Each structure stands twice: as structure tokens, then as C-alpha cells.
A and B are shown apart, each in its own frame.
Chain A
């Protein structure tokens, strides 16, 4: 199955540290979106990458940054971690030319202690 793959699945970091999360999109998809889901909340849009550039950004501070590689995979970086950054981070891939068929990964559970 060539669905969306995220790594790692779980991660524990200390406040102030930096973290990198990774996402491989579904085969054939060229757009990657990242979401943060706090416990008991719906996902919140962080940003979207297309053609290796940030195309859209949600209401997140500059501590959250990303990157998209030529193979369409993507990284989410969070600097100076805060306890409030503890959440499930979801990646979704899609094809830029259509507005349906979003495929979500299983997420990375980040715990900041």
C-alpha cells in the first residue's frame, strides 16, 4: 500500500529542544499538508507545501517550519518546544490539480516534557 507514511510514530522531547517529523506522501501525490491535533480537539492547519515551497500557512508561530523535497516528501520542524506543543501531528497528501482525495497518515504523537 502506497499510502501516507509518517515517522516516527511516537516521540518524547524535552521543553526547549527541537524536533523533526517526516512524511512521505501517497504515490502520485504532490502536495503535503501538516496539521496539529491537540487532545480532544479537531486538527488545526499548520501549513501546506507544493513544489518545494510553502503555499499556505495557518496561525502558527515561526517556530514551526517545514520543507518539501524533490520527491514530494516533507518535514515539519518545531524549534524551542513548549509543553503546549504536545499533540498528534498529522500529514495529509493530495494532488494539487484536484480538491478531493486527501489521504491522511497515522500521525506522530509528540509529547513534550
Chain B
């Protein structure tokens, strides 16, 4: 069993839809990161969370430490949001555990 599980693995949405990607983890963490990876490989760090909720533009990330669960929400989705979204748990041993990613395709 992976230390970090994401769902869904693949997601197709119509432009404008509200999107939710879920992440559950089993390790003790000091922080949880949401990453975005576009075709070609480059990874961009979207959020780092240790509690509560953060918002950046149309992106919202929440975390529930007690339930070991985090969600990434995209409001008013756009085709340029199409990418792989990766949840990564940063444990107290200074190591990342990555989920396998959620491949999002937003159709115009």
C-alpha cells in the first residue's frame, strides 16, 4: 500500500466545472504539498499545507490532520488547468512521499 493515495487517477471535466482531487496519507507529516506537472515534466509547487486551508486564485487546498486527508479544488476550471496534480507528504524524517498523481483534462 502506498503511503500517499490519490483519487481519482484520471479526471475529465468541461470548462467551468468545479473540480476536486483527494489525497489520503498514512505517514506522519510536517507538511503536505500539492504539485502541478505539465506535459514535458516540469513540476510546480502549488501549495504547502500543515493545517487548515489555503487559496491562490482559483485553487483551494484544504487539509484535515486528524483524518490524514487533503483536497485540492479548482473553481471555474479552464483548459490551461490540464495537467497532472500530485500530492506529496513531507514527513518528519525530511523525506517526501509522492502520490501517483491525478491526470486532469479540461475540455473547452
Contact = CB atoms under 8 A, between A and B. Distances in A.
Interface of A: 33, 35, 37, 40-45, 48, 55-56, 58, 88, 90, 92, 99-107, 109
Given A100-B31, A102-B33, A45 B40 contact: no
Secondary structure of the B side of the interface? strand
Contacts of A104: 35, 42-45
A57 B96 CA distance: 11
A16 B44 CA distance: 33
B101 A42 contact: yes
Interface in B43-83: 43-45, 48
Given A56-B94, A100-B31, A102-B33, A42 B41 contact: no
Interface range, B side? 20 to 34
Contacts of A101: 45, 48
B42 A99 contact: no
Contacts of B95: 45, 48, 56, 58
Contact of B99 (A42, A58, A90, A103): A42
Contacts of B40: 106
Given A35-B98, A104-B45, 5 more contacts: A56-B95, A90-B43, A100-B90, A105-B42, A106-B41
Contact of B98 (A42, A100, A103, A105): A42
A102 B41 contact: no
B14 interface: no
A99 B90 contact: yes
Nearest to A57: B95
Contacts of A42: 4, 86, 88, 98-101
